[in-house]
Structure 1
Amino acid sequence: MAHDLIALIAHYGLFVVFINVLAEQAGVPVPAVPTLVVAGALAAGDRLPLPGVLLAALAASLISDTGWYLAGRRFGGGVMRTLCRISLSPDSCVKQSELRFQRWRGRMLLVAKFVPGLSTVAPPLVGAMGLRPGAFLLLDGVGSLLWAGAAVGVGYVFAPQIDRVIDAIEQAGVVALQGLAFLLVLYIAVKWWQRHRLLVSLRMARISVEELNDAIAAGRNPVVVDVRSSAARLLDGRAIPGALLADLEGVHLALADVPRDRELVIYCSCPNEVSAAKAASLLMSLGYRNVRPLQGGLEAWQEAGYPVATLPAEHSGAHDRVA
């Protein structure tokens, strides 16, 4: 069974490498690293050309990544949010990707393929953020070559040992498959439990977009706070009119002059309003008595047809107020 993989790669060669890498980078859950490792081992035995393996992997990565990059440029942050909704950690996917971009900018492409959950998200993110095509192709090409080279290199250097491991897996047969299946189920269960614990810890009353609109129309003048990251505001330059822009970590500083009994509504753009709920929890711990996250966030507000303002580029930072 395991040797079938070697036979398949040896027979169809670079085509298998190309298709596997293309599919994985497109988001299909078919890991390409085992194929690249085996291809490296075959290259060590002169059964596949080493430069050809690397070029096939590089071409497949660039084709798939360029498609996501163009989708990001065309459709903006919506593409990334769609990808994150189908991830095992949707509550942190968008936020973590935005923070990595905020820190590394386009250089994140150099390491994206080594970071679980970031490989497919990075190209549309940098596209939505406006990274130039030339810079994208250079950085993504180098990152793809580093990733493929690492996997192929492992196979090339440890070719004899890899063959023994494959033999051991084949001899274990059903037991090995059951073990791998158990580890996969365990991983999914752990991720689900982590997410469940996070959502339980942030369980609190939300305010709907209709209730917020009614409160504004009735003259209650709630303080609306946007706790999206600077990168998220660059991705989506819309905001609720009159909202105060604040960093999640410094939201209490932005509200230092606001009375503790003032009505506060916090919104973000992440799934399950996680950032808004975290900000609300922090503010309540500091004595603010009337704080609620906005259910559905900015997206729900706009979908309901309520007015939005466009952020000028210079107002993407914190402690500004939207006109």
Structure 2
Amino acid sequence: MFWIVVGVVAAVGILIALLVKVRQARNAREFERTSVDAEVLRQLLEKEPPVLLYDVRLPLDLLAYSEMIPGAKRLSPKEVLANPTLIPADQDVVLYCTCEAQKTSLEIVRKAKGLGFSRLKVLRGGLAGWKSKGYPVEVYRESFRLDTAV
């Protein structure tokens, strides 16, 4: 009986590990489909009409790095998650945040795509990825709330 229990526990552990790997692979594929790198974004910004660009960093991240990609519009993640229609559904849009995994941007993209948005992308590497290529940034001078809840 003991060995049966051990076998069942081991099988459940293996099953959970496989499910985690499948989820990670699905998330990686989704990220690849919904992301652009800094070079592509630069090209999109130079086209006519340029892609719409939104900075959706958390307020504390913006406070720490008070610079933005030129042409970007600042949107609070909390506001966008509450009302995704703040982002136009009928235009090409790129979002960026701070973290390498783009957690905030991807959360917004998932919610918006669930509402029928299809032209959203995320900047791979976020602001740091843009800056690592030596592309320009500008100082963000607008006031904003330090509400950190997403």
The verdict on a shared fold, with TM-score over 0.5 as the criterion, is: yes
CA contact 1:239–1:298 (8 Å) conserved in 2: yes
Question: What is the match of residue 104 of structure 2?
Answer: 275
Letter in 2 for 1:308: V
Rounded to whole Å, the distance in 2 between the matches of 1:250 and 1:239 is 19
- Rate the CA distance shift 1:282–1:238 in 2: closer, same or farther, 3 A: same
Question: What is the match of residue 92 of structure 2?
Answer: 263
Unaligned runs of 5+ in 1: 1-185, 319-323
Counterpart secondary structure, 2:121? strand
- Rate the CA distance shift 1:197–1:294 in 2: closer, same or farther, 3 A: same
- 1:239 Cα deviation (Å)? 0.8
Question: What is the match of residue 133 of structure 2?
Answer: 304
CA contact 1:246–1:254 (8 Å) conserved in 2: no
- 1:251 Cα deviation (Å)? 1.4
Rounded to whole Å, the distance in 2 between the matches of 1:283 and 1:249 is 13
* Equivalent residues in 2 for 1:200-239, closer than 5 Å: 200-201=26-27, 203-204=30-31, 205=33, 206-239=35-68
Higher relative CO (CA 8 A, sep ≥ 6), structure 1 or 2?
2
Rounded to whole Å, the distance in 1 between the matches of 2:130 and 2:109 is 18
The superposition leaves residues 211-264 of structure 1 with CA deviations (integer Å, 9 ceiling, x where unpaired) of 111111112321111111111100111111121222223215374372x22101
- RMSD between aligned residues: 2.8
Question: What is the match of residue 143 of structure 2?
Answer: 315
Letter in 2 for 1:208: D
CA contact 1:234–1:316 (8 Å) conserved in 2: no
* Equivalent residues in 2 for 1:241-256, closer than 5 Å: 241-251=70-80, 253=83, 255-256=85-86
Give the percent of matched residue pairs that are identical in Structure 1 and Structure 2: 23
CA contact 2:77–2:104 (8 Å) conserved in 1: yes
Higher normalized strand content (fraction of residues)? 2
* Equivalent residues in 2 for 1:45-124, closer than 5 Å: none
Rounded to whole Å, the distance in 2 between the matches of 1:267 and 1:210 is 14
- Report whether the alignment pairs 1:295 with 2:124: yes
CA contact 1:233–1:316 (8 Å) conserved in 2: no
Unaligned runs of 5+ in 2: 1-12
Aligned pairs, number: 126
The superposition leaves residues 65-108 of structure 1 with CA deviations (integer Å, 9 ceiling, x where unpaired) of xxxxxxxxxxxxxxxxxxxxxxxxxxxxxxxxxxxxxxxxxxxx
Letter in 2 for 1:227: V
Work out which of the two has the higher radius of gyration on C-alpha atoms and give 1 or 2.
Answer: 1
